[in-house]
């Protein structure tokens, strides 16, 4: 069964594109056939984060407007043979694609791929609607910070109203030192506020910028803790039970205890 998973956030700059590239790479490394679609028309970036910017010939808008076949717009990853990218157009705007186009393209991709991961643009306008239209599941990326959490809540509400829920949450860029000082929302705080299922906790790590500089997903770096956190998200998506541990950045004894309670009762 093929699954279409859309990665979104409301607020910009929380790490959607990096998460998409890494979850896609991690799923492909697990042996699944994966295609990542950049739905941010006009502000294309998934290509550079995946390190595939030099291989682009056709893009999503070329497919929609019939200038090429869908398979001609599929770019194969350099490292993983089961990972592909469909890039966004850079010189067009988001109205060049409609939600119907996205559903049609994804239905065609379902025949060949296990996972279709869509990188949504920020905001709740056309580009976002395009990104969630074909989705079977939604992953929301947030940071432990007031504006990102507020926007995540708004998106969770929209996802529920569109009957695409329940959304799953990734808390990205958590800084354990700040959580332990009491100067950053803990995992338990964010879960209590948003009341949504957790699927990943990713630490704030400068190594992510280094890997993005190189165009090589950190999820493929075996020794990286951040890479492991991202690989764990892929495993959970693929149906494996991967427990959250204190090393995930719950932060502090109290944070850890309350997180365990929260995670344990999330379906209650």
Partner 1 sequence: MRSLASLFSPRNRSAQTAKERLRLVLIHDRSSLPPGVMETLRDELIEVISRHVDVDRAAVRLEITQDGRAQRLLADIPLKRIDQPLPDL
Task: Give the residues lining the site for partner 1 (CB under 8 A).
Answer: 145-146, 149-150, 153-154, 156-157, 160, 178-179, 181-186, 189, 192-193, 195-196, 254
CA–CA distance, 93 with 153 (Å, rounded to integer): 27
The Cα–Cα gap between 67 and 187 comes to 46
- The CB-of-238 to partner 1 minimum distance in angstroms stands at 26
In this complex, which beta carbon is closest to partner 1, that of residue 25 or of residue 156?
156
* CA 259 – CA 244 distance, rounded (Å): 9
Q: Least distance from C-beta 92 to partner 1, angstroms?
A: 33
Shortest CB 5 distance to partner 1, Å: 21
Helix (H) or strand (E) holding 147: helix 146-161
CA distance 232 to 241: 9
Q: How far is the CB of 156 from partner 1 (least distance, A)?
A: 7
Nearer to partner 1, 86 or 188 (CB): 188
CB 138 within 8 A of CB 10: no
Cα–Cα dist 106/121, whole Å? 17
Q: Which is nearer to partner 1, 57 or 146 (CB)?
A: 146
CB nearer partner 1, residue 10 or residue 200? 10
Q: In angstroms, what is the minimal distance from the CB of 146 to partner 1?
A: 5
DSSP letter at 262 equals H
Cβ closer to partner 1: 46 or 184? 184
Smallest separation, CB 194 to partner 1 (Å) = 8
Residues 6+ apart with CB under 8 A from 156: 140, 165, 167, 194, 196
Write out the E strands in 101-174.
Answer: 115-119, 137-142, 168-174
Q: Which is nearer to partner 1, 31 or 182 (CB)?
A: 182
Query: Would you say 98 and 48 are in contact if contact means Cβ atoms under 8 Å apart?
Result: no
């Amino acid at each position: 069964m093929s699954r279409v998973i859309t990665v979104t956030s409301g607020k910009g700059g929380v790490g959607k594109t990096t998460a998409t590239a890494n979850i896609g790479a991690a799923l492909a490394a697990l042996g699944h056939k994966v295609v990542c679609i950049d739905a941010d028309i006009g502000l294309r970036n998934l290509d550079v984060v995946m390190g595939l910017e030099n291989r682009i010939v056709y893009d999503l808008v070329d497919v929609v407007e019939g200038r090429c076949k869908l398979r001609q717009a599929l770019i194969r990853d350099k490292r993983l043979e089961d990972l592909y990218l469909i890039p966004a157009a850079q010189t067009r705007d988001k109205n060049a694609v409609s939600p119907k186009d996205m559903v049609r393209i994804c239905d065609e991709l379902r025949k060949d791929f296990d996972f279709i991961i869509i990188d949504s643009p920020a905001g709740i306008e056309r580009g976002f609607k395009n990104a969630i239209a074909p989705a079977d599941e939604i992953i929301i990326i947030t940071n432990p910070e007031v504006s990102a959490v507020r926007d995540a809540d708004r998106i969770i509400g929209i996802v529920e109203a569109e009957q695409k829920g329940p959304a799953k949450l990734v808390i990205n860029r958590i800084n354990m030192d700040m959580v332990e000082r009491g100067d950053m929302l803990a995992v338990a705080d964010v879960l209590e506020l948003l009341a949504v299922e957790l699927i990943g906790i990713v630490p704030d790590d400068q190594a992510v910028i280094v890997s993005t500089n190189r165009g090589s997903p950190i999820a493929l770096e075996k020794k990286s803790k951040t890479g492991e956190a991202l690989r764990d998200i892929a495993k959970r998506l693929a149906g494996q039970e991967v427990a959250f541990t204190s090393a995930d950045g719950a932060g502090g004894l109290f944070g850890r205890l309350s997180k365990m309670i929260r995670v344990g009762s999330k379906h209650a």
